[in-house]
């Protein structure tokens, strides 16, 4: 799949990250067997994202995930240009933070992650931008009180949490949102059938054996139902390609 994301004019740090990854890869990585802990099944508690190798592997191929730029473009359209406090959940190296900043240079953005590699990349990439605050936070734990936000966003991160934790996090997001605020979760969701799941994997060039054991995929409708039940309005799936979906809700 040679689909290259078109992110327009992006900050130079996006060009840097591959070199950064290569430089740290050899010394930082741990054996895959150690990451997997000897077990190969999907596991509700397994999350490999604190592993340097796992994080670096993702960063190397993040741009080539098919259609992601389409989902990101719709997400960016959903976040008002006037949003002045934004929270990004599971920021990685700051890909979404950088995109949000292109048209909202004044916005204050807080970026959560817990992977040492991602936190290091985030801090480096936004070292010169005092409007971006990087916070080490494990999304499995309740969100710290950091005031209210006009937008809370996330990209391909929440599906690494167990289902109950996803639902609890959505309620915490609602509580942390200013009235009128928008929640945009660009997410990896489950397929309705095993055949469609295999089709998705083939489309992104991953064999079933190499699927990320950290994934805890859940269908779109259940998640939209949760958002409505919590109190979000205008809840819908605003964009979808196979297992990539943008779930959006607004706090009235
Ligand atoms: C697929 S990457 C996506 C990164 C970034 N949002 C992007 O779109 O490029 C998933 C991110 O979620 C983070 N993550 C996974 N589980 C987490 C947890 N329990 N707490 C905090 N961050 C977590 C990982 O460290 C990683 O940065």
Q: What is the pLDDT of residue 60?
A: 85
Flag whether 43 is in a domain.
Answer: yes
Residue 160 has pLDDT above 80, yes or no: yes
Characterize the bridge pairing of strands 85-89 and 108-113.
Answer: parallel
41, 218 contact by CB (below 8 A)? no
Average pLDDT of the residues in 19-45: 36
Does residue 91 belong to any structural domain of this protein? yes
Q: Please indicate, yes or no, if residue 1 is contained in any of the structural domains.
A: no
Output the pLDDT for position 7.
Answer: 34
Mutation pick for ligand 1 pocket among 52, 58, 100, 113 (CB with most ligand atoms within 8 Å): 113
In a domain, 8, yes or no: no
Which residue in 245, 192, 249, 252 sits closest to 226, CA to CA?
249
CA of 88 to the centre of ligand 1 (A): 10
Q: What's the pLDDT score for residue 43?
A: 55
In this structure, the number of other CB atoms found within 10 A of the CB of residue 250 comes to: 18
Each residue's pLDDT tens digit, 232-241 = 999 999 999 9
List residues near ligand 1 (CB under 6 A).
47, 49, 58, 62, 90-92, 95-96, 113-115, 118, 138-140, 155-157, 160
pLDDT tens-digit profile of 41-50? 345 678 888 8
Any idea which of 9-23, 141-155, 180-194 has the lowest mean pLDDT?
Answer: 9-23
| pTM, two decimal places | 0.84
CATH code, domain with 208: 3.40.50.150
Most informative mutation of 72, 88, 90 for ligand 1 (most atoms within 8 A of CB): 90
At residue 53, the pLDDT reads 85
Query: Which residue lies with its CA nearest to atom 16 of ligand 1?
Result: 160
- Position 164 pLDDT exceeds 60: yes
d(Cα 12, Cα 19) in Å, to the nearest integer?
A: 12
Domain enclosing residue 224, as ranges: 13-250
Q: How many CB atoms lie within 10 A of CB 212?
A: 17
Q: How far is the CA of 152 from the centre of ligand 1 (A)?
A: 15
pLDDT at 100: 97
Q: CB–CB of 64/1 below 8 Å?
A: yes
For ligand 1, what atom is nearest to the CA of residue 188? 1
- Reported as a single tens digit per residue, the pLDDT across 142-156 is 999 999 999 999 999
Query: What digits encode the pLDDT tens for the residues 194-229?
Result: 999 999 999 999 999 999 999 999 999 999 999 999
CA 77–ligand 1 middle distance (angstroms):
22
What is the pLDDT, as a whole number, of residue 245? 98
Q: What confidence category does residue 92 fall into, taking pLDDT thresholds of 50, 70 and 90?
A: very high
Residue with CA closest to ligand 1 atom 14: 90
Does residue 161 lie in a domain region? Answer: yes
Please give the tally of structural domains in the chain.
Answer: 1
Looking at the domain assignment, is residue 2 inside a domain? Answer: no
On average, the pLDDT of the chain sits at: 85
């Amino acid at each position: 799949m040679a689909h290259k994301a078109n992110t327009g004019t992006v900050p130079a740090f996006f060009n840097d990250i591959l070199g950064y990854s290569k430089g740290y890869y050899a010394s930082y990585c741990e054996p895959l067997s150690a990451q997997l802990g000897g077990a190969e099944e999907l596991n509700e508690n397994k999350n490999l994202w604190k592993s340097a190798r796992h994080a670096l592997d993702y960063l190397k191929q993040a741009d080539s995930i098919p259609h992601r730029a389409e989902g990101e473009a719709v997400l960016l359209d959903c976040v008002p240009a006037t949003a002045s406090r934004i929270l990004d959940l599971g920021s990685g190296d700051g890909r979404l933070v950088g995109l949000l900043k292109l048209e909202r240079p004044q916005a204050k953005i807080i970026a959560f992650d817990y992977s040492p590699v991602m936190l290091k990349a985030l801090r480096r990439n936004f070292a010169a931008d005092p409007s971006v605050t990087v916070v080490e936070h494990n999304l499995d734990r309740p969100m710290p009180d950091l005031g209210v936000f006009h937008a809370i966003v996330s990209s391909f991160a929440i599906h690494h949490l167990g289902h109950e934790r996803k639902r609890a996090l959505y309620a915490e997001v609602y509580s942390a949102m200013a009235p009128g605020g928008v929640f945009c979760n660009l997410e990896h969701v489950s397929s309705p059938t095993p055949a469609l799941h295999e089709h998705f994997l083939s489309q992104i060039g991953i064999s079933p054996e190499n699927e990320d054991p950290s994934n805890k995929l859940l269908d779109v409708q259940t998640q939209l139902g949760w958002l409505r039940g919590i109190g979000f309005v205008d809840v819908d799936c605003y964009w979808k390609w196979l297992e990539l979906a943008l779930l959006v809700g607004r706090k009235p």
